[in-house]
Amino acid sequence: MKMIAVADQTGGIGCDGSLLVDLPTDMRYFREKTSGSVVIMGRKTLESFPGGKPLPNRRNIVLSRTLQSDEVSGFELCRSAEQAVKLVEDEDQEHVFVVGGGEIYKLMLPYVDEALITELETTIDSADTFIPVFAQEPGWELVSRSDPVCENGVTYTFAVYRRKDK
């Protein structure tokens, strides 16, 4: 299982339920990586989608303790990380992505073997939601990093980290 996120230098991923920056190239990267795959998300991430609609060409799973099944048309609903793992156990784990938000990343991290992190070369002071800084996490190693991209005044790279024991 993988996770995919955009993070600043402190692991900041969001502010007030929104992404920290608008990066069209990163959005294209997200679509390319997750298309045809399973995406696991939380209620707040679901609510951030235009019209609350599922991402096309993906199996969409929402992990939530509060949503009711009639509130998530087009999504599969589960109540725990363990239930989410059970739902995807027959899937090729190379094509299962945890896509947010902060609480879901935290709950699912023990099941994740690879992290695709778009790393901003800056810190966004307004960030209020965080993930680990994988470059500083014991047990994780950098596998690849793209050349820097500069867009909308932000420089960033696409980094891939893998658990060392996998």
DSSP bridge pairs for 62: 41, 77
Burial 32-45 (b: 16+ CB within 10 A, else e): ebbeebbbbbbbbb
pTM: 0.95
> pLDDT of 48-99, one tens digit each?
887 888 999 999 999 999 988 777 788 999 999 999 999 999 999 999 999 9
pLDDT digits (tens, 9 = 90+) for 109-132: 999 999 999 999 999 999 999 999
Q: Which domain holds residue 107?
A: 2-163
**84: CATH:** 3.40.430.10
Number of domains the chain is built from: 1
